[in-house]
């Protein structure tokens, strides 16, 4: 089963992209969890999962709302794409540590949503909100949901 982890900070405008995507996917019955903590915790969150999708806001110079997918299983993490992290030990560092200690899932993909605004207390920009919706639709169409709640199945 695919483990989906939405990373970010719900209270920092565009940085909420991963969290919003995880919430929307969970509402559709997917095994999606939210992660607002330090990168070290990711090693535990993905432990035991063979297939992981991480969704996070990125800053790489692309236009806001751009979406890109990266497979770090064969390419080192590019910390310059994660300059928006508020943690000293962020996503890129967690991936590289996981690789070094043998705790990187067999299949791992990063879905980056290009962000521009990290204002505390602000809402995500329209471009990022639209990108979150696209990511949710694309992922929902491409992976099978976890067991759906009984009330959804019976209706």
pLDDT, tens digit, 9 for 90 and up, residues 52-89? 899 999 988 999 999 988 888 766 655 554 444 444 55
Find how far residue 63's CA is from the centre of its chain: 18
Query: What CA–CA distances, in Å, run from 61 to 82, 84, 112?
Result: 11, 12, 12
Q: Where are the domains of the chain?
A: 2-144
Is the domain spanning 2-144 CATH 3.40.50.1450? The answer is yes
Q: What is the mean pLDDT of residues 3-23?
A: 95
Is residue 111 a contact partner of residue 69, using CB atoms and an 8 Å limit?
A: yes
Question: Between residues 83 and 94, which one has the greater pLDDT?
Answer: 94
Per-residue model confidence (pLDDT) at position 80: 53
Q: What is the mean pLDDT of residues 141-151?
A: 57
Per-residue model confidence (pLDDT) at position 122: 92
Note the pTM of the prediction, 2 decimals. Answer: 0.82
Low-confidence winner among 8-17, 24-33, 51-60, 78-87 (lowest mean pLDDT): 78-87
Is residue 24 a contact partner of residue 135, using CB atoms and an 8 Å limit?
A: no
């Amino acid at each position: 089963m695919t483990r989906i982890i939405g990373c970010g900070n719900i209270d920092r405008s565009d940085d909420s992209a991963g969290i919003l995507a995880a919430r929307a996917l969970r509402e559709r019955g997917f095994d999606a969890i939210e992660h607002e903590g330090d990168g070290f915790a990711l090693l535990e969150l993905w432990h035991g999962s063979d297939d992981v999708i991480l969704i996070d806001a990125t800053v790489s110079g692309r236009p806001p709302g751009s979406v890109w997918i990266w497979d770090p299983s064969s390419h080192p993490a590019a910390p310059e794409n994660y300059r928006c992290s508020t943690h000293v030990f962020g996503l890129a560092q967690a991936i590289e540590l996981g690789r070094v200690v043998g705790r990187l899932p067999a299949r791992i993909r990063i879905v980056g949503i290009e962000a521009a605004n990290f204002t505390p207390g602000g809402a995500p920009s329209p471009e990022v909100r639209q990108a979150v919706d696209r990511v949710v639709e694309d992922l929902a169409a491409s992976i099978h949901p976890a067991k759906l709640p009984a009330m959804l199945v019976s209706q």
